[in-house]
Amino acid sequence: MENLIEINPKIMVGKPVIKGTRITVELVLEKLASGESLDDILTSYPHLNREQILACLDYAHRSMRSDFVFPLVREAA
């Protein structure tokens, strides 16, 4: 799954994206966190497939396993 996510400073300011798209891992995670299902995302983005969505989750999981974790910053209300 690793080869489905890429980081390129010329694409989306270097945010991790689904390879060959401009869809960020962040966007996929945001949609899932807001309650959208995998099927909802696949309906909204028919050019994606289930493996690409799961690769976003895998990327996030591997990122959280690192020794450095970013603190949660709450946005002002």
pLDDT, one tens digit per residue, over 9-47 is 999 999 999 999 999 999 999 999 999 999 999 999 999
Confidence (pTM) = 0.83
Q: What whole-number distance in Å separates Cα of residue 39 and Cα of residue 43?
A: 6
Topology, domain 2-64: Arc Repressor Mutant, subunit A (1.10.10)
What 3-state class would DSSP assign to 5?
strand
Q: Hey, CA dihedral for 45, 50, 51, 56, is it positive or negative?
A: positive
The tens digit of pLDDT for each residue in 7-16 reads 999 999 999 9
Band of residue 66 on the pLDDT scale cut at 50, 70, 90: confident
